A and B are shown apart, each in its own frame.
Chain A
Amino acid sequence: VEAKRESRPARGAPQNPLLAMSIMSYNGAAIIAMVGKNCVAIASDLRFGINQQQTTAVDMKKIHKIHDHLYVGLSGLATDQMTLAQKFKFRHNLYKLREGRNMKPETFAHVVSNVLYEKRFGPYYAEPVVAGLDPVTGEPFITGMDLIGAMAPTTNFVVCGNNEESLFGVCESMYKENLEPEELFEVIAQCLLAGVNRDCLSGWGGVVHVISKDKLITRTLKGRMD
């Protein structure tokens, strides 16, 4: 009687990881944005991995500056993340030339949503977080989005990345309203570091930007390097 043989790839041949996991966890990321008193903070981890298991760089910033009071963080597939950042810069440059002013954060968020939805049936594998202050009134604005542009603006915090559950958890417990910039920095930094500790795909330190009307605080965080 012939034994049933399981089909499996030849010994030593690499398994195709895309069959086993989501395209969104190929590179790895963790991003948080929070609202404070007349300020916003946005933070991301610095890991860049390939094929999930291999860490290739530890200085990969996922947050891009659009203008002095508007930042966008992108998680998901790194190549899409980079291309989208370049596309957003393109759109904002033209807007600024034509209108003679910087984009409001809400307007920019709608542009982001629009760019993503254009690819509704073949999407960019990136989930953005927009954080900024209104250039005129200084009012804070943050929103998160899924990969096809569904916005979810809130008045407290947004997270995105591979380990959203952990990030949500720490933010829910540590977040307080109306924090001053330095306090907000502490809270968001601790939330990020705690949130990435339970995720092998993000970490290796972090970077935080706290944006107020007249001041920008940018600091790099030292976390567990693993």
Chain B
Amino acid sequence: MARRYDSHTTTFSPEGRLFQVEYAMEAISHAGAAVGVRTDEGVVLAAEKKILSKLLETSVASEKMHKLDDHVGVAVAGINSDANILINSARLSAQRYLMTYQEPVPMEQLVQTLCDQKQGYTQYGGLRPFGVSFLFGGWDKNCGFQLYQSDPSGNYAGWMAAAIGANATAAQAILKTEYKEGMSLTDARRLATKVLKQTMDSTKLEAEKVEMAEVSWKSDAKQAVAYRVLKETELAELCDQANKEAEAKAAAGKK
């Protein structure tokens, strides 16, 4: 039944569904997980690295985390080549805003512009949608620290904590119970690591399999924010902590 209505992106099915968009979301559910947690001190983005071969030449650029502007970063889940196109577009959009208004682009505007582009591919052109979901983390002077999630349909929403990619529903459920309002940035990092560990396949979390980035105040003076990728040492420490916690919990459970 669905077969007849799923090849053209721009056609609704009789039940009112856009199959291509749904199939795109299906593609994303096979991609590496990404988790975002928002606090009043900053936004944390954590992701599972899927490409782990020893033969890989690591460059400066990361697989899942990308900087869009000084005050915004994004975590990707889905087809990386599709993501690159959209990231480039977002970077240009942010710079054009800065050029015209001489102030950094407000987060929601950036997200909306990108989502409008994604939506275009579900309504005109006969081209397939982008197979990417994003978690945008950043700050602007109107609304402070914010976290947004977007999907191939072009829909977006602001979240306190969100997850995309593999096992996203499970991750989202854990976040729902464990997230607390007024969390500190340190707690947020721990929560993101914990959720990632519980949704990944392996029993022990290793720093090489994880990437984390955050947008937070550069210093205590709270004059400027910066996007930064966490160092190997910080990741190792967080993974260690998460592993120990899980072991302790398992041991307590056995008793």
Contact = CB atoms under 8 A, between A and B. Distances in A.
A, B co-complexed: yes
Contacts of B91: 94, 97-98
Interface string A91-104: 00110011011000
Nearest to B96: A90
A100 B95 contact: no
* Size category of the binding interface on chain B: 10 to 19
Contacts of B95: 90, 93-94
A65 interface: no
A94 B92 contact: yes
A90 B95 CA distance: 6
B61 A90 contact: no
A178 B215 CA distance: 42
Given A97-B67, A97-B91, A90 B98 contact: yes
Main secondary structure, interface of A, reads: helix
A87 interface: yes
B102 interface: yes
Closest 7 pairs between A and B when the two form their complex, measured CB to CB: A100-B60, A90-B95, A90-B99, A97-B91, A93-B95, A86-B99, A94-B95
Nearest to B94: A93
A136 to B, nearest CB: 14
B69 interface: yes
Contact of A93 (B60, B69, B88, B102): B69
Contact of B98 (A93, A98, A100, A101): A93
9 contacts: A86-B102, A87-B99, A89-B98, A90-B96, A93-B95, A94-B92, A97-B68, A100-B60, A100-B61
Interface in B112-133: none
A110 to B, nearest CB: 19
A209 B47 CA distance: 42
Interface string B40-64: 0000000000000000000111000
A101 B59 CA distance: 12
Contacts of B67: 97
Contacts of B88: 98
Contacts of B60: 100-101
Interface in A20-66: none
